[in-house]
Amino acid sequence: MAETVPVDRRQRAQELRSQLQKASYAYYVLDAPDLPDEVYDRLYRELQDLETQYPELVTPDSPTQRVGERPASQFTALEHNIPLYSLENAFDIDEYRQWEGRWQRQTPDIDSAAVVAELKIDGNALALTYEKGLLTRGVTRGDGISGEDITQNIRTIRSIPLRLQIDNPPPRVEVRGEAFIPNDVFDRINADRQANGEALFANPRNAAAGTLRQLDSRVVAQRRLDFFAYTLLLPEGEGGLTLPQTQEDSLAALQTLGFKVNPNRKLCPTAADVAQFYDQWDEARTQLPYLTDGVVVKLNDLPLQERLGFTQKFPRWAIALKYPAEEVPTILQDMTVQIGRTGAVTPVAELAPVKLAGTTVSRATLHNADRLAELNLYKGDTVIVRKAGEIIPEVVRVLSDLRPEGAQLCQLPTHCPECGETLVRPVNEAVTRCINPSCPAIVRGDLIHWASRQALDIAGLGEKWIQQLLAQNLVSSVADLYELTVEELLSLERMGQKSAQNLVDAIAASKSQPWARVLFGLGIRHVGAVNAQLLAKQFYTVDLLATAPPEEIESVYGIGPEIAYSVYEWFQAEANKSLITRLKDKKIGVQLEGAPPSDEPTDLPMMGKTFVLTGTLPTLSRKEAKAKIEESGGKVTGSVSSKTSYVVVGVDAGSKLAKAEKLGIQRLSEDDLLTLLQQTASS
């Protein structure tokens, strides 16, 4: 029978936890230690002994629980409460001004707005969830829709509180930020690895990523990661914390909760202020104890952030203004072109191999015909290469004074090098394309994409096998893969009986991949893995998506008009209709539907009604109005069409109202909306 905990021992344990938590906060967050290390160690040991004697004294927020005793066997994928989008990049102040112009065009009633600029930490994004003040889960960014549950490892980061520093915490809070390894810690880790004959980490970000995915949290604790919080997602009107209205308020609230936030930030009323902050830190950043590769700029007004929303990939209200990447000179030996799976023609620079940002580079993108003409490249030119976003090598300029005599100008071909068809450049596009759907390069790209890990994940079906399948006319579309036989595969060079059977089995196994992966595998322009998941969740069968108008597709959270129209247009093409028909065949049988939304009532009063909100409502925010409509079964879309049931009008309504009046759509005020919802709910 467990020993009853004496009252004085229970009280002592609570006092020790409180004292140690305060000491950790002072040391790791405030950088102002108030307890000598030896005193902290003695108190920690005393608490540890108490918890060993009385296990029921152990609480989730106890400092002794930061390091797990047993390694994790694996990491579980968890869906983010709200998608964790990455940021769009700008590489100079001119590109920043272009971004500023884009969001201003989305809000013609707002000429300018202050932004908060803070140094961008070169680390790994995390999403932390607190329930009733206690840390309950920590998840990596992953693909933005879901990430890995690494809660056990996150608990070892001492600048992340296990309990929020507030007496009346909200029921649920989500905090987002960046985990990173300070420079001096990184140097120590690599020195230890070198001494032990282990491979060195390439940079602190690489070390942080590897550390966070360690199965043994004791290893994570030894590497002493740090954390800066930058986003607070707080349910409205809950708990003892006022809902922030600005990014500045949000950062202040994070500090109140016990988090470390980056002190190197500034409220910037104008783009000139942003430029000054950006230039100030270009050289000064080398003196920081951690790596930074740019400045993150966010609109300070949080309601304005909500109003602007997201594109298919990025928030419209934030951007990363990156510092120039490392640049090196090399020789342009030749120029080739690549034909992508959408027919896009990309000129590629073939370079004399050169070391760049830790890797050897021998090829670099030249983007498109406009960029090629702007560079005025000749074979044999000395060119300057950098990594765009520190990932993709690109040619940034030419040292024309070093051009050899008789050099040949680099130009795009007029005909596709794969199929011989004339290349075209669609109106209002920078990209030149091959528009022959039977082009071997396009078909090859479709097949490679379909078999890729994020799509149907067909093990063993790599590019070399796909090239042979095409060369022998065994396949001409993704549907043909499912009719391949072992006997046909044995005709491929170096394909044995066992390999052929394994490949047939892998193709058959891909039939069980979920609808979202199949949708991504179709290769619709602008539909990445994240957008495919968003669409598949709303349109849970291929037929629902194939028959949806653009405005209905656009109503999905995170899907913009460009994506919506691209999806709509794809399903109108006869070749794609034929492909879907073949994929539906029972002999092929890939998953073209998922589970319908669970527990969705079908008898709600506004079911089937579509609303559009425009202008500023007197008392309701757009989020609140949308929630009330959806609770009644209605749907809120971003654009007016003939299928719109009502347009809800507030102050400073824009073009949506004019279009609604032209189409004769019923107009509602906020009071009208509330009355309608109340009447239908009671009828």
The DSSP secondary structure of 500-550, one letter per residue, reads: HHHHHHHHHHGGGS-HHHHHHHTT-TT--HHHHHHHHHHS-BHHHHHT--H
Q: Which residue in the list 22, 120, 623, 662 is annotated as catalytic? A: 120
Annotated binding residues for Zn(2+), written as ranges, equal 416, 419, 434, 439
Question: What integer pLDDT is reported at residue 237 of this predicted model?
Answer: 52
Q: CA end-to-end span of the chain, whole Å?
A: 60
pLDDT tens digit sequence for 380-396: 999 988 875 556 788 98
- Mean pLDDT for 189-218 is 81
Separation between Cα atoms, residue 342 and residue 434, nearest integer Å: 8
- pLDDT at position 68 is 43
* Residue keyed to tokens 């691209």: 566
- SS3 state of residue 557: coil
Q: How far apart are CA 573 and CA 495, in angstroms?
A: 36
Number of CB atoms found within 10 A of residue 393's CB: 23
| Rounded mean pLDDT, 500-508 | 96
pLDDT digits 0-9 by tens, 557-593: 778 788 899 999 999 989 899 999 999 988 898 999 9
Q: In what order do the strands lie in the sheet with 610-614?
A: 635-637, 610-614, 646-649, 666-668
Confidence of residue 601 (pLDDT cuts 50, 70, 90): low
Query: What's the rounded Cα separation, in Å, for the pair 304 and 302?
Result: 5
Residues with Cβ within 8 Å of 583's Cβ and at least 6 positions away in sequence, in order, are 478, 479, 518, 590, 592
Centroid of chain to Cα 275: 26
Domains of the chain are 7-57 (1.10.287.610), 88-322 (3.30.470.30), 327-412 (2.40.50.140), 440-511 (1.10.150.20), 515-584 (1.10.150.20), 610-679 (3.40.50.10190)
Short-list 380, 373, 374, CA closest to 403:
380
Q: Are 122 and 295 in contact (CB under 8 A)?
A: no
Q: Burial of 30 by CB count in 10 Å (0-12 exposed, 13-18 middle, 19+ buried)?
A: exposed
**Residue 533 and residue 515: Cα distance in Å, rounded?**
9
* DSSP run (H or E) holding 90: strand 89-90
Q: Is 70 exceeded by the pLDDT of residue 34?
A: no
Q: What percent of the chain has pLDDT over 90?
A: 46
Question: In the predicted model, what is the mean pLDDT of the chain?
Answer: 87
pLDDT of residue 213: 84
Which of the pair, 491 or 38, is modelled with greater confidence? 491
How far apart are alpha carbons 634 and 622 in whole angstroms? 14
Give me the mean pLDDT over the 83-99 stretch.
88
Place 215 in a pLDDT band, splitting at 50, 70 and 90: confident
- Mean predicted confidence (pLDDT) in 363-389: 88
State both tokens at 4.
């009853």
Which is more confident, 476 or 216? 476
Q: How buried is 220 (Cβ within 10 angstroms: 0-12 exposed, 13-18 middle, 19+ buried)?
A: buried
Six-digit token string for 142: 């992953």
Mean pLDDT calculated for residue range 193-218: 80
Q: Please say if 609 is a catalytic residue.
A: no
Which of 271-275, 316-320, 552-556 is predicted with the least confidence, judged by mean pLDDT?
552-556
* Local confidence band at 239 (pLDDT 50, 70, 90 cut-offs): low
Strand partners, 432: 345
**In the prediction, which pLDDT does 461 show?**
94
Confidence bin at 364 (pLDDT 50/70/90): very high
* Coil, strand or helix at 353: strand
Strands 226-233 and 77-79: unpaired
> Which one has a higher pLDDT value, 654 or 526?
526
Q: What is the pLDDT of residue 33?
A: 61
Q: Provide mean pLDDT across the span 547-566.
A: 86
Look at 637 and 419; give whichever has higher pLDDT.
419
Q: What's the token pair of residue 487?
A: 């006997």
**In the numeric block, which tokens belong to residue 605?**
């009063």
- Give, to the nearest 10 degrees, the angle between helix 271-284 and helix 93-106: 150
pLDDT tens digits along 259-272: 999 999 999 999 99
Least trusted range by pLDDT, from 119-123, 230-234, 252-256, 435-439 = 435-439
Predicted confidence band of residue 30 (pLDDT cuts 50, 70, 90): low
Q: What gap in Å lies between CA 369 and CA 254, rounded to an integer?
A: 47
As a whole number of angstroms, the distance between CA 231 and CA 125 comes to: 11
**pLDDT of 157 higher than 80:** yes
For 287-322, letters b (16+ CB in 10 Å) and e give eeebbbbbbbbbbbbbebbebbeebbbbbbbbbbbb
SS (H, E, C) 453-500: CCCCCCCCCCHHHHHHHHHCCCCCCHHHHHHCCHHHHCCCCCCCHHHH
Determine the pLDDT at residue 241: 77
Q: Which of these ranges, 132-146, 399-413, 470-484, 615-629, has the smallest mean pLDDT? A: 615-629
Using the predicted structure, report yes or no on whether residue 425 has a pLDDT greater than 80. yes
Percent of the chain with pLDDT over 70: 92
Weakest mean pLDDT among 229-233, 485-489, 633-637 = 633-637
- DSSP letter at 29 equals I
Question: How many Å apart are CA 517 and CA 391, to the nearest integer?
Answer: 25
532 CB neighbour count, 10 Å cutoff: 24
Q: Rounded distance, CA 146 to CA 376, Å?
A: 44
Contact between residue 210 and residue 203 where contact means Cβ atoms under 8 Å apart: no
Output the pLDDT for position 619.
84
> What's the pLDDT at 1?
37
What confidence score (pLDDT) does residue 379 get? 95
* Residue-level pLDDT at 37: 56
Tell me, what amino acid is at 206?
N
Sequence-distant (6+) residues with CB within 8 A of 276 are: none
Rounded to whole angstroms, the Cα distance separating 6 from 478 reads 70
- 93 close to 321: Cβ distance less than 8 angstroms: yes
Answer whether residue 488 shows pLDDT above 90.
yes
Residue 667: exposure state from Cβ atoms within 10 A (0-12, 13-18, ≥19): middle
pLDDT of 436 reads: 87
Q: What are φ and ψ of residue 345, in 5° steps?
A: -100, 120
Q: Which of 17-26, 222-231, 653-662 has the highest mean pLDDT?
A: 222-231
- Token pair of 680 as six digits: 């239908």
Q: Can you give the pLDDT at residue 66?
A: 65
Contact of 540 with 597, CB cutoff 8 Å? yes
- Highest mean pLDDT (candidates 11-25, 70-84, 147-161, 354-368): 147-161
